[in-house]
Amino acid sequence: MREEEIIDAISRVEVRTGRERTIKSYVLRSTKLDEEQKKIVLENYEKYAVTFRGEMTEPGALFAHPSRPVIIEIGFGMGSSTQIIARDHSEYNYLALEVYLVGFVKLLRDVSRLQLDNIKLMRFNAVDVLERMIPDSSIAGFHIFFPDPWPKKRHHKRRLIQPDFVHLLASKLKKGGYIYCVTDWQEYADQMLEVLSGEPLLMNPYEGFCPPVSWRPMTKFEKKGLDKDYKINEVWFERR
């Protein structure tokens, strides 16, 4: 890809589908790169990133080892836990989605330093990616760690975990595939449990919240929450 094509690829976060976006839990704060960030992107984008395409694509075909199951992480933030999980679980491929430009560039840099061949990054709206690129019954799991809780009641409609979105996730899962969500906001955790419990395609192997998953690393963000006595709740549902 030419330089201007690469920069354009990470600048276009949403496509216009002719209808109002029903799920958009983020606010774009920056679309500009400084010179160091631009260098990181130009040197590593083609190897470690994926450009949005409006056509169905077999997820495994995006990776060096297409036979590995694909996990999608939605909203990886700064990517601290993302890179550790991908490094320690090379039996999976990881497609990591994030609209936050600083976090995207940081993880792109870190992945290139670790030379991981089982992770690809996309800077694009997750709903468009799922609806227009990912075939049904093709994904082994979804990770959604600490999504924005939008704590004010009038903003609850902006939360990512809503019935329509959960149904979209469930439709993309293979049988036995999972949705794994984590939050430190109790009221949002309760909503997550309620919404996922209401999706007919999913089942909860636990009676409520799941016990802590040992392979998910603790981030600095999570530790700050624990220091403030926030309770971490984890939700795990599987495709029937």
Q: Euclidean distance between the first and final Cα of the chain, in Å?
A: 41
Confirm whether 117 is a catalytic residue: no
Has residue 78 got a pLDDT over 60? yes
162 lies in some domain: yes
Q: Please tell me the total count of domains within the chain.
A: 1
CA distance 5 to 62: 19
Among the options 34, 88, 136, 148, which is catalytic?
Answer: 148
Instruction: List, for residues 136-185, the tens digit of each pLDDT value.
Output: 999 999 999 999 998 999 999 999 999 999 999 999 999 999 999 999 99
CB atoms closer than 10 angstroms to residue 154: 7
For 148, the domain range is 3-10+43-239
What's the CATH number where 121 sits? 3.40.50.150
* pLDDT for res 13: 60
Q: For the residues 23-34, what does the mean pLDDT come to?
A: 57
pLDDT in tens, 168-227: 999 999 999 999 999 999 999 999 999 999 999 999 999 899 999 999 999 877 888 888
Let me know if residue 36 belongs to a domain. no
Residue 121: inside a domain, yes or no?
A: yes
Question: Whole-prediction pTM value?
Answer: 0.90
